Amino acid sequence: MTKITFVKHDGEKFEVDAENGTSVMNAAVDNLVPGIDADCGGECACATCHVYVDETWFPKTGGTNDAEEAIMSLNPDRQETSRLCCQVPVTDEMEGLVVRLPEFQF
């Protein structure tokens, strides 16, 4: 289990235990973190699991892949550390990861 903290746009925090081998999106959905819709189920097809990774953590998530880059390119809420969290695997190295949620999913 790996501890991940989701911070809503209004500052409310959700600290969850995520199972290694799943995705950060799975951890959010399993723990009723509001604001992660994840409609496509993790196929990188819908961009409804957008998060901002804490700056110090961003490199450890491996950075965005091409599919994410393309689908987020039009998102007005896009920031430098944006990720689609269905594309971020949960590993031991992620212990303590902090991600913030945008106010709206696209």
Partner 1 sequence: MAIVIIGAGQAAGQAAASLRQEGSDEEIIILGDEPHIPYSRPLLSKEYLAGHESARLYLRAEKFYTDKNVTMRTNTRAEKIDTAAKTVTIEGGEVIEYSNLLIATGSRARILNIKGSDLGGIFYLRTLDDVDAIKDAMAPGKKVVIVGGGYIGLEVASVAQTNGMDVTVLEAADRILQRVTTPEMSAFYDNLHTSRGVKVLTNTGVSGFEGEGTVTHVCCGDASIEADMVIVGIGIIANTELASEAGIECDNGITVDERCRTSAEHVYAAGDCANHPNPILGRRLRLESVPNAADQARVVAANIMGKDKTYAAVPWFWSDQYDLKLQMVGFSADGDTQVVRGDKSENKFSVLYLKDGALVAVDAVNCPADFMGGKALYGKKLNQDGLSNPDIPLKDLVLSE
CA atoms of 97 and 91, how far apart (whole Å)? 10
What's the order of all strands across the beta sheet hosting 97-100?
13-18, 2-7, 97-100, 50-53, 82-84
> Could you tell me the smallest distance in angstroms from the CB atom of residue 19 to partner 1?
7
| 26 secondary structure, DSSP code | H
Q: Does 86 bind partner 1 (CB under 8 A)?
A: yes
Distance set, CA 103 to CA 20, 44, 66, 70 (Å): 27, 20, 24, 21
Which region, judged by CB under 8 A, interacts with partner 1, from 5-13, 16-24, 57-65, 91-99?
A: 16-24
Tell which positions 34-63 bind partner 1, by CB under 8 A.
34, 37, 39-43, 45-47
> Could you tell me the smallest distance in angstroms from the CB atom of residue 56 to partner 1?
27
User: Which stretch of DSSP H or E encloses residue 13?
Assistant: strand 13-18
Figure out which of the listed residues 12, 19, 93, 95 binds partner 1, where binding follows CB under 8 A: 19
Which residues here bind partner 1, judged by CB under 8 A?
A: 19, 22-23, 26, 29-30, 32, 34, 37, 39-43, 45-47, 67, 70-75, 86, 106
